[in-house]
Structure 1
């Protein structure tokens, strides 16, 4: 792993885990991803709320929950989290343990809590275990989160405050926390396109001579980004913004379609968007 402590942080989004037309989990995605995970990697996964929604509908005649959106997200997340972990356990090789790590913004904005999580992740790598990280939506109220973030900004020393409610940000923060050679963002597209309607415009390699240079190139790429895969997500532009800090510490960032084998993405066999500083 050269000077890096971890081979890869792998993040997968909610919609990449689902067969949207069938309103069901895409077990092929879980299987391909799970098979290639190994100690020295950390998986950051979304999907609990969407999977909880699907499970609730199955058990309630196809009906969805009604009421306050924040309450619904909380309830779906609580219902879906165990199913998400159970499904990963089914497909990750049995010789490896898996360890669930649910985080909130408060963990990453407190140096002692962040250090506690860092040691947990390091121990997992040395104990034949794969950490699976997700934001703890079931116990995180948006109103309280915004208040706490605002208070941190007002009382802080001017340092960067992270929210982590977007798992793209969570993955980038984890990458910086442990030191990872690669940050792999798995999505429902092959990467970043100059024209999202034209597959031939995939941007495959972006190299910067310095953090400032790669940031300037990313800012240009963000102009091509529009739309998101679901309500509440921030899309490709957020992935690029959150990638900046990881790139500044020498991590290679790869944005690729989740349908491909992880090992093929990491080895460069699959066309995708790759960003790095040289």
Structure 2
């Protein structure tokens, strides 16, 4: 059942959680343990969790002795190949504390645009969840090109939430909520709730951020939250440091209420049967 209010996150049937590169790479790699502990607690309550995690390229940077995110596509792809392996190892090592297995799911934009690939991805994740395995989803940066990318994993998370019929989506960030303007500027106030159809044009969310570890920012989260909420999936945007509180349904972050009359999506169609 779709979660219509924050408190519904506690004990909900299925939730997608998205975490970005800056929250779990470099000096912040320790945060993986805290995120996993929160997911394990939700898992223990009976909630099925799908984790959408960025961080493959960022994880590889120190291993490849790179000073920052590479500009050329080939090095980005090579970095993703190295970093994804290490990132999954870190997650599984942390999950071992709770006896939970992880399953890697790598997707491209083309996979979700193709009905057969989309159906296969959904079927695989449904089976993983049925086996009580944590699907960890990332964009397949090793084969993706600049022309066929999701653009950021916030959008990927919104699409995955629709694909698996999630009750809610939690977008984890570096700040505790969205603000009416950049939070370090005078007059910035946190946004508690966004209803379907609310006009946000007067707010200053900035542009897409591209830094040494990844892409994202408040603007991408607003866009992704609007996409998911429009399809009937409630969305909470909050800090990665408050993931446990988020999954317990506490009154934190910015809540995007789901559209009570969701727009139909091809992502939620029947699963195709291969012949």
TM-score range, shorter chain: 0.7 to 0.9
**Root-mean-square deviation (CA), in Å?**
2.6
Corresponding residue for residue 152 of structure 1: none
CA distance in 2, matches of 1:64, 1:264: 35
- Residues 193 and 201 of structure 1 are in contact (CA less than 8 Å); yes or no, is this contact kept in structure 2? yes
Greater per-residue strand proportion: 1
Corresponding residue for residue 190 of structure 1: 176
With structure 1 as the length reference, what TM-score do the two structures score? 0.78
For residues 9-45 of structure 1, give each alpha carbon's deviation from its aligned partner in whole angstroms, at most 9, with x where no partner exists. Answer: 1111101113xxxx43421x10111112236110001
**Which of residues 129, 133, 144 in structure 2 aligns to 1:140?**
144
CA distance in 2, matches of 1:181, 1:104: 23
- What is the CA distance between 1:123 and its match in structure 2? 0.9
Corresponding residue for residue 22 of structure 2: 15
Corresponding residue for residue 127 of structure 2: 123
CA distance in 2, matches of 1:105, 1:227: 19
Alignment: residue pair count: 241
**Which of residues 57, 62, 70 in structure 2 aligns to 1:49?**
57
CA distance in 1, matches of 2:102, 2:168: 20
Corresponding residue for residue 172 of structure 1: 158
Corresponding residue for residue 85 of structure 1: 88
- What is the CA distance between 1:53 and its match in structure 2? 0.5
CA distance in 2, matches of 1:219, 1:88: 38
Q: Is 1:204 aligned to residue 192 of structure 2? A: yes
- Residues 18 and 53 of structure 2 are in contact (CA less than 8 Å); yes or no, is this contact kept in structure 1? yes
Corresponding residue for residue 72 of structure 1: 75
CA distance in 1, matches of 2:70, 2:128: 40
Q: Which has the higher contact order (CA 8 A, sep 6+)?
A: 2
SS of corresponding position for 2:78 = helix
CA distance in 2, matches of 1:227, 1:174: 21
Corresponding residue for residue 237 of structure 2: 255
SS of corresponding position for 2:209 = coil
Corresponding residue for residue 35 of structure 1: 37
CA distance in 1, matches of 2:160, 2:57: 21
CA distance in 2, matches of 1:253, 1:67: 32
Q: Is 1:269 aligned to residue 250 of structure 2? A: yes
With structure 2 as the length reference, what TM-score do the two structures score? 0.78
Most deviating of 226-235 and 124-133: 226-235
SS of corresponding position for 2:142 = helix
- What is the CA distance between 1:166 and its match in structure 2? 1.3
5+ residue gaps in structure 2?
4-11, 261-275
